[in-house]
Structure 1
Amino acid sequence: MFGKILSRGAFPRRALAVALAMFGAGSAQAVEVTIACGSVGTDVEICKKLTAEWSAKTGNTVKIFAAPESSTEQLALYRKQFAAKSGEVDVLSVDVVWPGIIKEHLLDLTPFAKGVQKQHFPAIINNNTVGGKLLAMPWFTDAGLLYYRKDLLGKHQAKVPGTWLQLAATAQKIQDAERKEGNANMQGYVFQGKAYEGLTCNALEWIAGNGGGTVVERDGRISINNEKAAKALDLIASWPGTISPKNVVTFAEEESRGVFQSGNAVFMRNWAYVWNMAQKDGSRIKDKIGVAALPRGVGGKSASTLGGWQLAVSAYSEHQKEAADLVMFLTSKQMQKKRALMVGTLPTYPALYTDPEVLAAAPYFTALVDAFNMASARPSSVTADKYNAVSAVLWSAAQDVLTKKASGAESVAKLEKELIKIRKGDKW
C-alpha cells in the first residue's frame, strides 16, 4: 500500500520513512512481561493497578501469573521452572530468604538500578546482594517489632523497656498487678516460641541483640558457640511459666496476636501486619497500643530480623531488559509510596517514613525507622540452598533451651557441631 501511495506522489518520501521507522520500532519494542506478584489479600489487585501504569508508560503489556499462596509452594514452583530453564515468568516475587537459595537463576540488576539501591535500607540491599550481584530489588519490607499496651504502661507508671531485662521486670510487675485486680489471664509477654521459622527469627534477635553474632556470619564463619549467645538463650528460657504462658512454645504469629488482641498481654513480639488488625473496629485494644524497636541485650543493641518481599528477574526470561525496567518501576519510591497509601505495606526507602502523606495515613510508621535501620538479615545469603537446614537446627536448639532440655551453653555447642556438618567443608 505504501508503494502505491508513494508512486502517486501523495505521500512524501521523508514522511514515509518516518512512518515505517515508527511502525517497525513499535512492533519490535512492544512485549508481554509476565509477573508473579503474590496471591495473598490484595496482592493481585494492587499489582494490576501499578503494572497498568508501567504499561501506559512503555507500551508493553503485563500478564499476572497466579502464584501459590504458600511461600514454600512458590519456591518449589520456581525451582521446577528453573530446572526446565523456563522463561514462563519474567519477574518473580522473592521472599527475603531466597536470594542466596536461587542465586544461580536470577539476573544481576546492578546495571539497571543505576545507584538507586543506595536509597533503600542498607540491610535489605545487603541481603539481596550475593557474590557481588544485586539479585533482587526491595519491594516492601518487614521486621520484628515490640508491641505494647500504652494504656497499661500509663496506668502502672512504666516506661517502654529499652532492654530485655527491663521488659521482663515491667512485664512481671504489670502482669502481677492486673491479675490481682481480676484478670487471671493477663500475660506479661508473648512471642513466637513454636519450632518453626518464626522461632529462628526470634532467636536471631535475642542472640544478635546480646552481642552474640548472627549464628553464621557474612564471611561464612560459624559464630554461634559463644558466651553472649548462650546467655541470651538462658535469659529467654526463664520466661515460659513466668512472664509468658507455658504453652508459648507452641505459639506462632497468630497465637501471639490472639492473646495480645484479646487484651491479655502487656507486650508482644510480632510483625507489622498486626497493627492494622489491632486497630480495626471491634478490636479490644484499638487505640491502646504502641510500637517500638525490640529491646537490646546486656551491652548489646536492638536487633530486628528482616522480613519482606523483593522483585527479581528470571535468568531465563526472554525479555530481561523490559522485565528489569518493570522491576525498577514497581520498586521505585513513587510506587512504594502509592502501595503504602493503598494497603499499608512498609516501604524500603527511609525517606518515606518522614513523608507527610504517608504519616497522615499511617502515623505509627515513625516508630519503625529505628527497627528497619537495625534490622538483621537471616544468614540465608551466605548459606544459600542450605539455609532451610540451618534454620531447622537453629529453631530446634532454641526450643531445647525454652523447654529446659538444654542450657544455653549446651545448646550453642551442639548447634555449632550441627552447622559444621551441614556446611561440609570450609565453604557453604
Structure 2
Amino acid sequence: MKKVIAFVGLTAALSAAGQASAVTLTFACDSVGAGYNECQKGADAWAKKTGNTVKLVQVPKETDQRLALYQQQLGAKSADVDVYMIDVVWPGLISQHLLDLNKYIPAAEVKQHFPAIVQNNTIGGKLVGMPFFTDAGVLYYRTDLLKKYGYNAAPKTWNELSTMAQKIQAGERKTNSKFVGFVFQGKNYEGLTCDALEWISSFGGGTIVDASGKVTINNPKAVEALRTLSAMVGPVAPSAVTTYGEEEARNVWQAGNAAFMRNWPYAYALAQDAKSPIRNKIGVAALPAGPGGKPAATLGGWQLAVNAYSKNPKEAASLVQYMTGLQEQKRRAIEASYNPTIASLYKDAGVLKAVPFFGSLYNVFTNAVARPATVTGSKYNQVSDAFSTAVYSVLTKKSAPGPALKTLEGQLGRIKGRGW
C-alpha cells in the first residue's frame, strides 16, 4: 500500500499544475522482439496518468551498438534522451552520467526488487538504475518433436542435445529442407559472450576472469566446451548461426524450423502467439551441462536509468518508477514473458498461469552466472569483445579452441595490465 500511495502522490504532484506544465520525455527503451511495443504500452499508461508525453526512440538491437550510441550521447552531455534502458553490465561503465535514483524513489519500493540487482546498479552509493526485468539463458525445445522421435525429456547434457538434435533434424528434413537441430546466438557480439560463458561454465571452466581479477579462461575444460559446441556448427546448427543474434535465432525457431533454441525468456510469449506455427508445442528447460558439470545460465537483464543531463529529472524518475513498479512488471510478465525483478511476482497466480516455467526455473533465474563486469570495471567492454572474438574464430573454424584461448589469455593479460 505504501508503494501505491508513494507513486500516486508523485503522480498527483506532477500533474497538479495541469496540462500547461506538461513535459515531453524521450525514452530510449527496447528494440528486441516485442520490446518496443511493450515499452510504448507502459509509457502511454504513465503519460495518461500524469498528463505528460513520452516519445520513444528506436535503438539498435545489438547491445554493443546500443552502448556505443549511449556513450557518445552521454559523453557529449546531451539532454536529447531523458530515460535509457541499460544492460546489467553497463552501470560501472556509464554511472557518472546517470542520476541517483535514491533521491526520487522510496527506499521501501527499491527493496522489493532482487537485492543482488539493486547492488549491481549501485555505484559509489548512487542507485544509477532501477531493475526493469531480469534474464537468464534457457533452452527451448519442441515438445511434439521430442515425443515423435521417442524422447520424454529435454537433454541434460550438450552431448545429449547434439544426439537428439541430429536425429530430429534427419527425420524432419525428409519433408522440410530448412529444418535444423539447434539455433543460438553465434554472431560476434555481446550475445555470443553470454552463450559462450554458459557453455564454458557448464563444463566447469570458470567465468573468463575470476572474482579476484585473475584471468582463468585458458583451461582444459574451457577448451573442451568450445570444442564440443563448435563441432555442432554444420552438423547440428546451421553454418549461418554465426550470423545470428537473438531475433535471427527466434525467427528460425518460431517458423517451426528448429528442434532446440537457446534464447532469453522473452521469446516464449512471442512463440505462443495465436499466429505462431509452434503455439502450444513449446517446452522450456535449464540449459544442458558438460560432463561432470552443471547447467549454467548467463545473467542478463535490463535497468531503467535517468540521464543526469535531463532537463526534466523529476518527471523522468517518475516514468522510471512507474515502468519498474509491480503493476507494470506484472503486466509485462503476463503479456510478454519478461522476467520480473520483484520476487513476489514469481508466486503470483496470474503470472504463473501465463508463463508456467517462471516457477519451475526460478532457481535458474536467481542463481545465474554473472559476466565479469564488476571486477573488470571500465575495461569490461574490451574483455567481452576479446572473448567473443576468440569464440567466434573457433565457431567459424578459423582457429582451434586451444590456440584461441591461449591467445585470448595473452590479450586479457594486456588489458588487465592497463588496469581493471
Q: How much does 1:149 deviate?
A: 0.7
Contact 2:157 2:288 in 1 (8 A): yes
Q: Which residue of 1 aligns with 2:280?
A: 287
> What are the residue-to-residue correspondences of 1:331-410 with 2, within 5 Å?
331-410=324-403
Q: Which residue of 1 aligns with 2:166?
A: 172
Question: Does residue 43 of structure 2 align to residue 47 of structure 1?
Answer: yes
Q: How much does 1:150 deviate?
A: 0.5
Contact 1:291 1:367 in 2 (8 A): no
User: Residue 331 and residue 257 in structure 1: after superposition, are their counterparts in 2 closer, same or farther (change >3 A)?
Assistant: closer
Corresponding residue SS for 2:57: coil
Distance 2:81 2:135 in 1: 25
Q: Deviation digits for residues 33-62 of structure 1, max 9, x if unmatched?
A: 845252643223321203544x3xxxxx64
Q: Which residue of 2 aligns with 1:67?
A: 57
Contact 2:122 2:128 in 1 (8 A): yes
Distance 2:352 2:141 in 1: 20
Q: Which residue of 2 aligns with 1:199?
A: 192
Corresponding residue SS for 1:311: strand
Greater gyration radius:
1
User: Residue 74 and residue 224 in structure 1: after superposition, are their counterparts in 2 closer, same or farther (change >3 A)?
Assistant: closer
Distance 1:346 1:104 in 2: 28
Corresponding residue SS for 1:304: coil
Structure 1: which 5+ runs fail to align? 1-22, 56-60
Distance 2:221 2:102 in 1: 37
Distance 2:24 2:95 in 1: 21
Q: Deviation digits for residues 364-393 of structure 1, max 9, x if unmatched?
A: 433542331232333334434433332222
Q: Deviation digits for residues 124-172 of structure 1, max 9, x if unmatched?
A: 3354244564321111233322110101112233121122222223223
Corresponding residue SS for 2:91: coil
User: Residue 130 and residue 419 in structure 1: after superposition, are their counterparts in 2 closer, same or farther (change >3 A)?
Assistant: farther
Corresponding residue SS for 1:302: coil
Q: Which residue of 1 aligns with 2:27?
A: 36
Q: Which residue of 2 aligns with 1:82?
A: 74
Q: How much does 1:276 deviate?
A: 2.8
Structure 1 residue identity aligned to 2:54? I
Q: Deviation digits for residues 101-128 of structure 1, max 9, x if unmatched?
A: 2022223445645265554345533542
Q: How much does 1:239 deviate?
A: 0.8
User: Residue 109 and residue 216 in structure 1: after superposition, are their counterparts in 2 closer, same or farther (change >3 A)?
Assistant: farther
Distance 1:336 1:246 in 2: 37
Most deviating of 77-86 and 251-260: 77-86
Structure 2 residue identity aligned to 1:96? V
Q: How much does 1:203 deviate?
A: 0.7
User: Residue 285 and residue 80 in structure 1: after superposition, are their counterparts in 2 closer, same or farther (change >3 A)?
Assistant: closer
User: Residue 334 and residue 78 in structure 1: after superposition, are their counterparts in 2 closer, same or farther (change >3 A)?
Assistant: same
Q: How much does 1:280 deviate?
A: 2.8
Q: Deviation digits for residues 151-208 of structure 1, max 9, x if unmatched?
A: 11122331211222222232233334445x6555443222122222222221111112
Distance 2:394 2:68 in 1: 32
The alignment-based identity, stated in percent, is 48
Distance 1:87 1:351 in 2: 36
Structure 2 residue identity aligned to 1:155? K
Structure 1 residue identity aligned to 2:74? F
Contact 1:261 1:285 in 2 (8 A): yes
Most deviating of 115-124 and 295-304: 115-124
> What are the residue-to-residue correspondences of 1:107-186 with 2, within 5 Å?
107-110=99-102, 112=105, 114=107, 116-121=109-114, 124-131=117-124, 133-158=126-151, 159-179=153-173, 182-186=175-179
Q: How much does 1:267 deviate?
A: 1.0
Contact 1:164 1:295 in 2 (8 A): yes
Distance 2:114 2:178 in 1: 39
Structure 2 residue identity aligned to 1:172? Q
Q: Which residue of 2 aligns with 1:311?
A: 304
Choose which of 72, 92, 99 in structure 2 pairs with 1:100: 92
Structure 2 residue identity aligned to 1:67? V
Structure 1 residue identity aligned to 2:365? F
Q: How much does 1:407 deviate?
A: 2.8
RMSD between aligned residues: 3.2
Structure 2 residue identity aligned to 1:233? L
Choose which of 400, 405, 410 in structure 2 pairs with 1:412: 405
Q: Which residue of 2 aligns with 1:10?
A: none
Contact 2:42 2:323 in 1 (8 A): no
Structure 2: which 5+ runs fail to align? 1-12
How many residue pairs get matched?
394
Distance 2:215 2:377 in 1: 14
Contact 1:128 1:381 in 2 (8 A): no
Corresponding residue SS for 2:140: strand
- After TM superposition, the score normalised by the length of structure 1 is 0.80
User: Residue 385 and residue 173 in structure 1: after superposition, are their counterparts in 2 closer, same or farther (change >3 A)?
Assistant: same
Q: How much does 1:90 deviate?
A: 4.5
